[in-house]
Amino acid sequence: MQRILIIATDGFEQSELMKPRQMLEKAGAQITIASLKLGEIKGWDQKDWGESVTVDITIDQVKVADYDALLLPGGQMNPDILRMNAGVIAVVKAFGEARKPIAAICHAPWLLAEANMLKGRTVTGWPSIRTDLVNAGAEVVDRDVVIDGNLITSRKPDDIPAFVDALMAALNMEMAV
């Protein structure tokens, strides 16, 4: 069973956490949600607050060795808050140093930029963050999913099927029927 860590906080793009989690769990993965505090975090659903999810552990409790991959949902607020937290950035860096798959969608590649992981890498992301990604040293392309080594990036909710397929392929998982 593959163990996947999702890091998120209030304002995560609801579809970018809920749909990948559902698809990955259906395929047999064990999902853990880490955040800045215990309790619940609230999603953002297009133009208003959406559903909440229960946080399993706090960032300071994360042990990278316990997980096979990291998934970072987007939304504008979520990664903007998370990239200002040194503990979150340390966990993202540790996944990178361990060469474990890191899947980041929408605005979440901001976290990869903050962790100094983009120099010489090819990625994609939401259009409004592409200049930030270029400034962090990345080559940015406009595709539904981009795989560069252990980094998997996508642009938006419409890309979720390709995004999850790429993460599952990186983990040698098979899609549940």
pTM of the full structure? 0.97
Query: Each residue of 2-25: pLDDT tens digit?
Result: 999 999 999 999 999 999 999 999
177: confidence class by pLDDT, cuts 50, 70, 90: low
Domains, the chain, in order of start with CATH, read 3-170 (3.40.50.880)
- Residues carrying an active site annotation: 106-107
Query: Each residue of 35-76: pLDDT tens digit?
Result: 999 999 999 998 999 999 999 999 999 999 999 999 999 999
Q: Please measure the distance between the N-terminal and C-terminal CA atoms of the chain and give it in whole angstroms.
A: 17
Question: How far apart are the C-alpha atoms of 64 and 73, rounded to whole Å?
Answer: 18
Q: What are the Cα distances from residue 123, in Å, to 32, 52, 81? A: 25, 29, 21
Query: Each residue of 132-160: pLDDT tens digit?
Result: 999 999 999 999 999 999 999 999 999 99
| 177 or 140: which leads in pLDDT | 140
What are the DSSP calls for 6-66, one per residue?
Answer: EE--TTEEHHHHHHHHHHHHHTT-EEEEEESSSEEEEEEETTEEEEEEEE-EEGGG--GGG
Quote the mean pLDDT of the chain: 97
